[in-house]
């Protein structure tokens, strides 16, 4: 991978993009951090706490983000007895689950909530399923499982907030000091769009998206989506960036081309 001369905006929550930043810099690029989202754990005195108090009554935990896996592990601490098998949406969530909870028993081969539901149904998952998710998580996964006869409890594990990096990124785009923006969620898209609506922030910049839902949100917002990751995690995002940069060397900053 060669990224010499590329100035690449990373937009994940603080601390989430360190691996990809290191890879970019090792390949000669500049990793510029503009966190567009932040996460706030849900309190355990509500639905989440009630669900975790009855954790042993569930047959599966289904996780659709690394954030959910990390926060759930922090809440449970050393309490591992009685944790049911874990199903996850993809490899990044699998790594987080293994690090903070337990190795997942099921990893979807295609990394969207819709595909996770279809694969779980095909695998014959039954009984009671707990889905600790973001406050903005859609109902598709839970609804699909319910239609197959699964008892589903979806609870808010964390809230997704706008991060502090939007105004600085919008200004960097206007100034032409960013060559490409990496987007890893529809929430990041919304934060970027809100920042670009500020006066003088109408310039566009190529964006690379982590998966189809993020790409759809970006295209709907009028962003210039130039690549979409095949593997819907940050490693896949980096691979998509690398391939696009290889095919479009003219996108680099003029003075360091």
* Token pair recorded at residue 232: 């819907």
117 lies in some domain: yes
Q: Please give the Cα distance from 64 to 96 (Å, whole number).
A: 11
Whose structure tokens read 């960036």? 241
Residue 201: pLDDT over 70: no
Say yes or no: 97 and 18 in one domain.
Answer: no
* Token pair recorded at residue 246: 């290889």
Domain boundary among 138, 160, 182: 160
74 lies in some domain: yes
2 lies in some domain: no
Residue 254: pLDDT over 70: no
CATH classification at residue 54: 3.40.50.10090
Structural domain for 129, as ranges: 40-160
154 lies in some domain: yes
- Among the listed residues 6, 23, 92, the one whose alpha carbon sits nearest the alpha carbon of residue 238: 23
* pTM greater than the 0.85 cutoff: no
1 lies in some domain: no
247 lies in some domain: yes
Say yes or no: 153 and 173 in one domain.
Answer: no
pLDDT tens digit sequence for 43-99: 877 899 999 989 999 999 999 999 999 999 998 887 777 789 999 998 889 999 999
Q: Which residues of 175-213 are buried (b: 16+ CB within 10 A; e: fewer)?
A: eeebbbbbbbbbbbbbbbbbbbeeeebeeebbbbbbbeb
Number of structural domains the chain divides into: 2
Residue 255: pLDDT over 50: no
Give 107's contacts (C-beta < 8 A, 6+ positions apart).
Answer: 87, 88, 90, 91, 94
87 lies in some domain: yes
- Among the listed residues 4, 5, 3, 22, the one whose alpha carbon sits nearest the alpha carbon of residue 234: 22
pLDDT tens digit sequence for 87-135: 999 888 999 999 999 999 999 988 888 899 999 999 999 999 999 999 9
């Amino acid at each position: 991978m060669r990224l010499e001369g590329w100035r690449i905006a990373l937009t994940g929550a603080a601390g989430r993009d360190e691996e990809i930043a290191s890879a970019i810099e090792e390949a000669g690029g500049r990793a510029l951090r503009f966190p567009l989202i932040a996460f706030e754990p849900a309190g355990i005195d509500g639905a989440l706490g009630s669900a975790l108090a009855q954790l042993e009554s569930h047959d599966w935990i289904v996780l659709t983000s690394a954030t959910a896996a990390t926060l759930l592990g922090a809440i449970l601490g050393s309490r591992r007895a009685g944790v049911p098998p874990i199903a996850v949406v993809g490899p990044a969530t699998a790594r987080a689950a293994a690090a903070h909870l337990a190795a997942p028993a099921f990893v979807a081969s295609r990394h969207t909530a819709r595909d996770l539901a279809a694969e779980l149904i095909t695998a014959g998952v039954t009984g009671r399923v707990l889905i600790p998710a973001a406050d903005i998580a859609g109902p598709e996964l839970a609804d699909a499982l319910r239609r197959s006869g699964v008892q589903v409890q979806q609870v808010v594990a964390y809230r997704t907030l706008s991060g502090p990096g939007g105004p600085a990124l919008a200004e960097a785009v206007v100034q032409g000091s960013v060559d490409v923006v990496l987007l890893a969620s529809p929430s990041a898209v919304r934060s970027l769009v809100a920042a670009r609506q500020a006066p003088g922030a109408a310039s566009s910049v190529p964006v690379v998206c982590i998966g189809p839902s993020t790409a759809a949100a970006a295209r709907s917002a009028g962003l210039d989506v130039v690549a979409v990751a095949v593997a819907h995690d940050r490693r896949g995002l980096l691979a998509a960036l690398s391939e696009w940069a290889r095919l479009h060397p003219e996108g680099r900053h003029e003075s360091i081309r």
